[in-house]
Structure 1
């Protein structure tokens, strides 16, 4: 994994905590949440304040996520919103934390100037002892305050100010006035500078969880289902009509189609389908030849075509299916009939335009895991597990590709692969704002 770390593909974009002041604030928050502290004088944290170094020190990678539920967090700076979430147990957690930080950015900026903000993502489930707990998770709400309780104190002061201004004899209440003065010394002027965080809660009906071998739960769709990467028998008592494991490709394909969750890449609006499919073919080619003692990095398109000609008989079925699809897309070739039993089927799809597109693309990345770019973008935990088992040749190719082709423009790559254009914008792009251009 050192190659990934050095290239910034693992533990990248973490926030460095090095000043004694921030370390002391972190320890106060850590003690407040867990009763533990760190002896480290500098470390890196993710969006939730989790540090892999502290996890190693405490021999507990879940020290802020006991039992893998109700993730706790420590905010030292609003810059953490750009960091990844490590040791994620739910696909929704990072998005919830980022939205919380962005919605409360000015308040959090003021609060973290003096103290750490500690909190928790609360979902009413406190353990995952049985699969039934998966269905008990309905909403996630956030509770947060500074370690000194500044928000709670500000709320107390606001209540007392209301009493002072509205009750007839409050002007003569020396005790009330003394309490207001004492609280104001801790919180500042809450009338002119209110200290508050928005009460926020989030629906969690469709999500991925790392529990029970990895599950994709879709409840808020027309035809609900659960798809598991692990043992299906563990989940069969759940009151869900459809439970599939990853081997049931035809049933998963029908589920995605019936709920209108996917679209063919070759027919998607506003994408270079040929380029996307050719790149997937390269990844499949590399996977097939990675054990052949070949140098696979820094290969030109001509080099890749030569490899295909030389090793055509060794390439898997999905490579040839995608080649036929590229021929249709770019050369008016015959439309290839691709059933869900074809190994290439899920490589040809992407999520359609809906609120759970990230979740669906995550599922598709597991069903088409030779596409290392999509796997890295959509399902990092699975990417790291598979990377550990790859040959040195494939590791070298993957790291070189991701650092030179993907990391340079992550936003552009994601938009090109998964972005959706509105029909109006698409029409304008094709014909111009005043109609078709006449020759």
Structure 2
């Protein structure tokens, strides 16, 4: 994994914490949440305040996520909204945290100026004792306050101010006045600068969870289903259809019935032939790496030579995609690829629905040889599979992602999947001169 870290492809965009004041605040919050502290003098944190260095020091990668359900968080700065979420257990957690920070940014900025904000993503389930319990995760509420209890005190002060204004003889209540003065020293003037967090309740519809080998839950569709990455749960679930990844025909029908996918060649505003070519290149690289071929400094002519040399070893996915690409470039007879063909899901991308990200995540798992989509849409699976690749493939993929994807993430994602929000949550246009040079799909170097 060292190669990925050096290229900024793993643990990238984490927030560096080295100030003694911030470390002291972090320890107060960590003690408050878990009863633990760190002796490190500098470390990095993700959007939730989780630090891989602290996790390693404590020997507990889930020190802010006990039981993998109600994720706790520590906010030292609102800049954490740009950071990734590590050790993901639910696909919705980062979006909820980022939305919470953005919706309350001015308040959180003021609060974190003097203290850490600690909290939890709370739902009705504290431990997933069975897959059935996952269907109880319908809403997530964000509970947060400074370690010193500023928000709680501000609420109490607001109530005391209301009493002071409305109750008869409150002007003569020395205890009430003393309590108001004491609370105001901590919170400031809440009548002029109210301290209150809004938008703390979030709906959780369809989502992915790492529990039970990985499950995709789509309970809110017209034709709902659960799709298991591993073995299907052996208990009855409150949903009619439960598939595993081997049931490709059933998954294809599920996509079709709910209008969740579209063929790449019919997507508007993309160069389908180039996207298919890149998928074919990744398949070629996998075949060549398994054959022990040196993959350094490849250009387009080198890639063609690899195809000619290993044409008999290339899997069915390659040959079917080549037929689709030929149709996209020159027309002719449409190649019929059924849903049980290994290339079928490589020809699709998620349609523009509210479930687009989750569908692209599932498609990445169904198309593991498309390493770019795997990295973009399912990083947890990418890191697991990367560890088992030949060194030549590791080097090629790390270099490709650093060279062709990292330089223009938003442009590449838009070209592949449709409009994508950037790190600030806004849709940004692709950089035209960059696309002209390398192509939004990440073109292989030309000689």
Q: TM-score, normalised by structure 2?
A: 0.92
Query: 8 Å contact 2:125–2:133 — kept in the other structure?
Result: yes
SS at match of 1:44: strand
1:5 paired to 2:5: yes
Runs of 4+ in 1 over 6 A off after TM superposition: none
Moved more, 199-208 or 218-227: 199-208
Query: 8 Å contact 2:100–2:199 — kept in the other structure?
Result: no
1:416 paired to 2:399: no
Query: 8 Å contact 1:131–1:235 — kept in the other structure?
Result: no
Q: Distance in 2 between matches of 1:62 and 1:374?
A: 27
Q: Distance in 2 between matches of 1:235 and 1:175?
A: 62
1:166 Cα offset (Å): 2.4
SS at match of 2:409: helix
Structure 1 unaligned segments of length 5 or more: list them: 422-439
Map 1:138-287 to 2 at 5 A. 138-232=138-232, 234-287=233-286
Query: 8 Å contact 1:89–1:211 — kept in the other structure?
Result: yes
Residue of structure 2 equivalent to 1:389: 388
1:292 Cα offset (Å): 2.2
Map 1:280-359 to 2 at 5 A. 280-359=279-358
SS at match of 1:191: coil
Structure 2 unaligned segments of length 5 or more: list them: 421-447
Residue of structure 1 equivalent to 2:82: 82
SS at match of 1:314: coil
Query: 8 Å contact 1:76–1:116 — kept in the other structure?
Result: yes
1:106 paired to 2:114: no
Q: Distance in 2 between matches of 1:254 and 1:352?
A: 15
Give me the CA root mean square deviation: 1.2
Query: 8 Å contact 1:216–1:228 — kept in the other structure?
Result: yes
Q: Distance in 2 between matches of 1:274 and 1:341?
A: 23
Q: Distance in 2 between matches of 1:336 and 1:199?
A: 50
1:420 Cα offset (Å): 4.8
Q: TM-score, normalised by structure 1?
A: 0.94
Query: 8 Å contact 1:236–1:243 — kept in the other structure?
Result: no
1:173 Cα offset (Å): 1.9
Query: 8 Å contact 2:4–2:398 — kept in the other structure?
Result: yes
Residue of structure 1 equivalent to 2:27: 27
Q: Distance in 1 between matches of 2:387 and 2:3?
A: 11
SS at match of 2:312: helix
Q: Distance in 1 between matches of 2:279 and 2:175?
A: 72
1:400 Cα offset (Å): 0.5
1:302 Cα offset (Å): 2.3
Residues 136/235 of structure 1: CA separation in 2 closer, same or farther (3 Å cut): farther
1:236 Cα offset (Å): 3.9
SS at match of 1:325: helix
Q: Which whole-Å deviations, capped at 9, do the CAs of 1:92-121 have from their partners, x for residues lacking one?
A: 000000000000010000000000000000
Query: 8 Å contact 2:345–2:366 — kept in the other structure?
Result: yes
1:174 Cα offset (Å): 1.8
Residue of structure 1 equivalent to 2:129: 129
